[in-house]
Structure 1
Amino acid sequence: MTAVWLLPIVSCIVAASTGATVAEVLTNAQHALWTVLASYILWGIGVPLSLMVMVIYLQRLTLHKLPPKTVIVSVFLPLGPLGQGGYGLVQSSQSKIYGNSILIMARAMKLGQCAKEIFPKTGTLEQSSGPTFYTLGFLVALIFWAFGLVWLFFALASIVRSKHFPFNIGWWGFTFPLGVFATSTCQMGTELPSGFFRILGTILSLAVVALWIAVGAGTLKGAMSGQLFFAPCLADLRVQEEDKDAGKVA
């Protein structure tokens, strides 16, 4: 088992995080409300499932050795649902009201802030429910960020322990987890506001850019040489199939 199990699950969290982006183009307040509620449902599907898989993955790391060097990058993947899950709950936005409709103008994902603005305008729940969703969303996002620090330490320790490991297409697994963790950190700095989170978020963002350039250059080089098109996760399967065929011949 590897953390790749998280990839199909984290798609729900990513979809949930884009819900407020869709809501920003909806001038009808009721339609925007439905979009935000659907996004919360998707978030509720993806995050608990991710946490379940992370428990199983932690048990795998505890009872067995580290993943092979060819897929060691997968140890960074748990940062994905933690960073994206926290970022999707809280994102700063600005809302302008025109008549009875709401035009939400925002930079990206912002479920908590959208709930804060939309719930009172649509009469959803109590008047205080919108700010409550926003405040609880920030609290959960902060907890997820702290939990992400633990997995970041695990991942870095695994990489250091593995020392040299060959470049393959799986190195792109570095970019998304670290990227969403960086955006979550930057957003913490915006919401608090906090100079510490802003500086740390900037450092992480620069590291992601440098990593993206390095992995992109390696991908281009590997594609031109033809050595890149190799799936490490299928290597053992190929060996098993060859052994099976050899057994039939014997």
Structure 2
Amino acid sequence: MTFEQMRAVTLGLQPLSRLDSPREVVRQFTPNWFAATMGTGILAIAFDGAKRIFGHSVVSMFFGCIPMGLATIVNGFLIFGLPRYGEVAVGIAETLWWIDVAMAAACGVAIPFMMFTRQSHTIDQMTAVWLLPVVAAEVAAVSGGLLAPHLVDPHSQLLVLTLSYALWALSVPIALSILVVLLLRMAVHKLPHANMAASSWLALGPIGTGSLGLMTLGGAAPAILSANGLERFGAFAEGLGFFGGLLLWGYGLWWLAMAVLVTLRYLRDGLPFNIGWWGYTFPLGVYAVATLKLGTLLPIAAIHVFGAVLVAVLAVLWVIVGTRTVRGAWRGDLFVSPCIKD
């Protein structure tokens, strides 16, 4: 670097070096500068609004829906995109999966931490929406089980497989502990308000996803472990996937029956529509997929038929909820933010 270049850099580091005199600051000060005030002010207001969402004891739980929604896109690239776009779809899915993992882990840790430190909760006001932040990690685990076999590098396969098992463990045991508290809450304080009726189905989410996750990871594990010199663990992983998935699926039957009975009770007393009705769809859907997956592992036709029935019910529910959502959005009935009202 020449002397002149060094001098130019040095001058550039000095305050007001571009002005002939410090007094030029006043003379050259124009109203444009107030745009900085506007931008800074609106950013502060936006953050104050976001703070309300994070601090709300119900709305903040739905942040977990963001990574879960992204996981369905990852799965779509692997299931539908791979035949159409080839390896490009795998690359996109892998990139999105890592983003999904980061978001799911953040939700699973940050939201419960805020529950412990900033939000106000009582057992009588508890619902199954407590599950939403922690379930996102196991949804990402299922996507990892689908993604890993499509990766070329064996080490990358092992990394995704291992992290997927860790994500499963980051979610399912915590979700099951929440279900224990939820069972107590229901017995002591009875059913929540009709506006939260759909939350009775949310328990199927972690159970169905946990079952599907074990079966999916168990199916992918033997080949991946063998490719990395760990073939001695392959049979165990496959067996764990089958029996663990079967046990969780059986556990889900109880919650499915209870969700149906609770919904019938709400229907008898009147069931107002709200955006929470989408809570009927995803948990039932993932339990249906877990049922179909189990049907491919067990030579019992009734399980596959049961899964097909669940898919048919899901399709009907999706049409009903989708139609009412469009109608409610058109009229503006569904655009209500409890955190702002509070």
Task: Quickly name the TM-score band, shorter chain normalised.
Answer: 0.7 to 0.9
Q: Which runs of 5+ in 2 are unaligned?
A: 1-125
- Which residue is 1:207 aligned to? 313
Say which of 161, 174, 178 aligns to 2:280: 174
Moved over 2 A (4+): none
From 59, 65, 72, the counterpart of 2:197: 72
Answering whether residue 257 of structure 2 is matched by residue 153 of structure 1, we say: yes
Deviations 1:131-189 (A, max 9, x none): 21111111011111111011111111111112221011000000010000000000111
Deviations 1:111-136 (A, max 9, x none): 11111111122112xx3411211111
Letter of the aligned partner of 1:159 in structure 2?
T
Q: How many positions carry a matched residue from both structures?
A: 215
Q: Is the Cα contact below 8 Å between 1:75 and 1:158 reproduced in 2?
A: yes
Other structure's SS at 2:150 match: coil
User: Which of the numbers 28, 33, 36 marks the counterpart of 2:158?
Assistant: 33
Cα distance between partner residues in 2 of 1:24 and 1:123: 16
CA distance in 1, matches of 2:252, 2:147: 27
Q: Is the 8 A contact 1:182 1:201 kept in 2?
A: yes
Listed as ranges, the matches of 1:53-132 within 5 Å are: 53-90=178-215, 110-124=216-230, 127-132=231-236
**Which position in structure 2 is the counterpart of 1:136?**
240
Partners of 2:146 and 2:291 in 1: how far apart? 20
Larger helix percent: 2
Give the secondary-structure state (helix, strand or coil) at the position aligned to 1:18: helix
149, 168, 171: which one aligns with 1:24:
149
**Aligned twin of 1:244:** none
* 1:193 aligned counterpart, secondary structure: coil
**Per-residue deviation at 1:21?**
2.5
Deviation at 1:89, TM superposition (A): 1.3
Residue 334 (structure 2) aligns with: 228
Structure showing greater radius of gyration is: 2
Instruction: Work out whether residues 198 and 276 of structure 2, in 8 Å CA contact, stay in contact via their aligned partners in 1.
Output: yes
**Alpha-carbon deviations, 1:62-111, whole Å to 9, x = none?**
10020100111101001000001111111xxxxxxxxxxxxxxxxxxx21
Tell me if the contact between 1:168 and 1:230 (Cα under 8 Å) persists in the aligned partners: no
Deviations 1:184-241 (A, max 9, x none): 000111111321111111010111011111100000011111112235xx39x95xx6
1:30 CA displacement: 1.3
Q: Is the 8 A contact 2:138 2:210 kept in 1?
A: yes
- In structure 1, the partner of 2:131 is 6
Task: Tell me the distance in 1 between the aligned counterparts of 2:225 and 2:148.
Answer: 13
8 Å CA contact 2:199–2:279 kept in 1: the answer is yes
Inter-partner Cα distance in structure 1 for 2:332 and 2:318: 20
Larger proportion of strand:
1
> Retained in 2: the 8 A contact 1:188–1:194?
no
Give the structure 2 partner of residue 100 of structure 1: none
- What is the one-letter code of the residue matched to 1:69? A
The percent of aligned pairs where both chains have the same amino acid is 41
Contact kept? 2:175, 2:206, Cα under 8 Å:
yes
| TM-score, scaled to structure 1 | 0.82
Per the alignment, residue 110 of structure 2 pairs with: none
Paired with 2:295 and 2:240, the residues of 1 have a C-alpha distance of 17
Partner of 1:102: none
